[in-house]
């Protein structure tokens, strides 16, 4: 399998929109977020767990994040993407939370490290090929949707023991999204 990370990046580059229920588990516990993405970088995150009811919308033209905390329609905060109020302990920011940003990070590690293919494994009811990327201090394992060419499960293992597993449940690509969902 020649350059599997590059092929995933090509799949991302070819899409216009995607949606998923993002579920992650790591040292900071479990997160569940309904996630919508539309090029050139509009992002909407509706939190299920933690912070049920909170909503973040990133508007790339403004380079701003609009936060509506806890389903309160009266309170809206306009923040920089790197505001510590909305940046997680690992430094993840809303504007760099999409699959493309993930794949650029993995590609950088792949270019500096070792890439190995794994035989398909059942993930989300699909037989997904695995890709292992090993670099100094980090091991990534990505399980790739057989039709979409994008990861539906990402495992990240650090030498310091800080591990994270992310699922992209019900990943849907290029479905028509109403632009109004990205209006704060």
What are the extents of the domains in the chain? 4-182
Q: pLDDT exceeding 70 applies to what percent of the chain?
A: 97
Distance, in Å, from the CA atom of 177 to the CA atom of 174, rounded to the nearest integer, reads 8
Q: What is the pLDDT of residues 42-86, one digit of tens each?
A: 999 999 988 888 899 999 999 999 998 876 667 788 889 999 888
User: According to DSSP H, which parts of the chain are helical?
Assistant: 4-14, 99-112
- What class, spelled out in words, does domain 4-182 have in CATH? mainly beta
Q: What is the pLDDT of residues 74-108, one digit of tens each?
A: 778 888 999 988 887 777 888 999 999 999 999 99
The reported pLDDT for the residue numbered 124 is 86
Distance of CA 141 to the CA centre of its chain: 14
The reported pLDDT for the residue numbered 49 is 87
Q: pLDDT exceeding 90 applies to what percent of the chain?
A: 74
Contact 168, 22 (CB under 8 A): yes
Give mean pLDDT, residues 105-112. 96
pTM as predicted: 0.91
What are the structure tokens assigned to 8, written together?
């995933």
pLDDT band for 32, please (50, 70, 90 cuts).
very high
Distance, in Å, from the CA atom of 115 to the CA atom of 29, rounded to the nearest integer, reads 29
């Amino acid at each position: 399998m020649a350059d599997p990370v590059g092929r995933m990046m090509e799949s991302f580059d070819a899409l216009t929109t995607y949606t998923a229920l993002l579920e992650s588990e790591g040292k900071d516990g479990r997160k569940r977020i309904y996630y919508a993405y539309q090029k050139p970088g509009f992002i909407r995150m509706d939190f299920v767990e933690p912070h049920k009811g909170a909503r973040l919308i990133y508007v790339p033209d403004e380079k701003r994040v609009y936060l509506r905390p806890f389903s309160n329609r009266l309170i809206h905060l306009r923040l920089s993407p790197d505001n510590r109020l909305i940046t997680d302990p690992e430094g993840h920011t809303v504007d760099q939370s999409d699959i493309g940003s993930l794949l650029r990070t993995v590609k950088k590690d792949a270019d500096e490290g070792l890439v190995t293919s794994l035989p398909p494994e059942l993930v989300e009811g699909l037989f997904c090929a695995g890709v292992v990327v090993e670099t100094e201090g980090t091991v990534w394992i990505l399980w790739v949707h057989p039709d979409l060419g994008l990861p539906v499960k990402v495992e990240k293992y650090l030498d310091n023991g800080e591990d994270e597993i992310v699922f992209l449940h019900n990943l849907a690509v290029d479905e028509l999204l109403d632009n109004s969902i990205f209006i704060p």
